[in-house]
Amino acid sequence: MAEVPEATWWAQGLRVAGVDEAGRGAWAGPVVAAAVILPGTGRYPFRDSKTLSPAQREELRLEVQAVALAWGVGFASAAEVDTVGVLRATHLAAARALEQLAPRPQALLTDYLKLSTELPLLAPAKADRDSPSVAAASILAKVARDRYMLELSLTYPQYGFAAHKGYGTPAHLQALHRFGPCDQHRRSFAPVAQVPLLNPA
């Protein structure tokens, strides 16, 4: 088995928080980030949430929460994405997830997300593939965001959020042109910006 990115820090006895996000590219809904500190021992079955079915993600979510020393999930709303930009909103969501961790992390590992921090930070590409900590965070973030979008679909059934989770699909685009965007859409994202508000003030 190849050495994982956090192995050196684990060997030093450091608590490493893996951080990952879900929803950066969506047209609607929040950006969600999760942070997970795993014990620096053993092998973990966690892998990038994009490679897992919903049932597999739910099963592994329970395992992450059972074995983690600490975990947290943070949200940044669609309005915050529009106000500060999607990258800054992702940083806000990550900071909110990290604030929930107790014990506190001593080093951070992300999937190419270069957070502003005084802690040692590694941000390699494909960390959600190579790091069990980041993969665990990707699972929690994806499950939390999908659940949020399912709840949102009850309020706004016309957009099909339950199916596409706010991402750009032909059905979502058709709904935007038919109904206009709602308050959960990211007005700064094209093609959302090209259609009128559903309920203009």
pLDDT digits (tens, 9 = 90+) for 169-184: 999 999 999 999 999 9
Q: Is 111 annotated as a binding residue?
A: yes
Taking the C-alpha atoms of residue 182 and residue 39, their distance in angstroms, rounded to an integer, is: 42
**Percent of the chain at pLDDT above 70?**
96
Closest CA to 162 of 178, 176, 151: 151
Structure tokens at 132: 């069990």
Considering the domain architecture, whether residues 103 and 87 belong to the same structural domain is answered as yes
Could you give the C-alpha distances from 163 to 30, 151, 160, in angstroms and in order? 16, 12, 6
Mean of all residue pLDDT scores within the chain:
94
Considering the domain architecture, whether residues 144 and 45 belong to the same structural domain is answered as yes
pTM to 2 decimal places? 0.94
In a domain, 2, yes or no: no
Could you give the C-alpha distances from 46 to 10, 52, 57, in angstroms and in order? 17, 10, 9
Considering the domain architecture, whether residues 64 and 149 belong to the same structural domain is answered as yes
Residue 1: per-residue pLDDT: 41
Considering the domain architecture, whether residues 163 and 142 belong to the same structural domain is answered as no
Q: Is 20 annotated as a binding residue?
A: yes
- The last residue of a domain, from among 137, 153, 169: 153
In a domain, 185, yes or no: yes
In a domain, 201, yes or no: no
Residue 2: per-residue pLDDT: 63
CATH number at residue 70: 3.30.420.10
In a domain, 1, yes or no: no
**Across 21-30, 36-45, 159-168, least confident range:** 36-45
Considering the domain architecture, whether residues 82 and 115 belong to the same structural domain is answered as yes
Considering the domain architecture, whether residues 14 and 104 belong to the same structural domain is answered as yes
Q: Could you tell me if residue 80 is left (phi over 0), alpha (psi between -120 and 50 degrees) or otherwise beta?
A: alpha
pLDDT digits (tens, 9 = 90+) for 77-132: 999 999 999 999 999 999 999 999 999 999 999 999 999 999 999 999 999 999 99
Structure tokens at 76: 């940044």
The DSSP letter of residue 131 is -
Residue 201: per-residue pLDDT: 38
Residue 200: per-residue pLDDT: 44
Is the pLDDT at 199 greater than 60? The verdict is no
Range of the domain at 112: 7-153
- Residues facing residue 74 across a β-bridge: 33
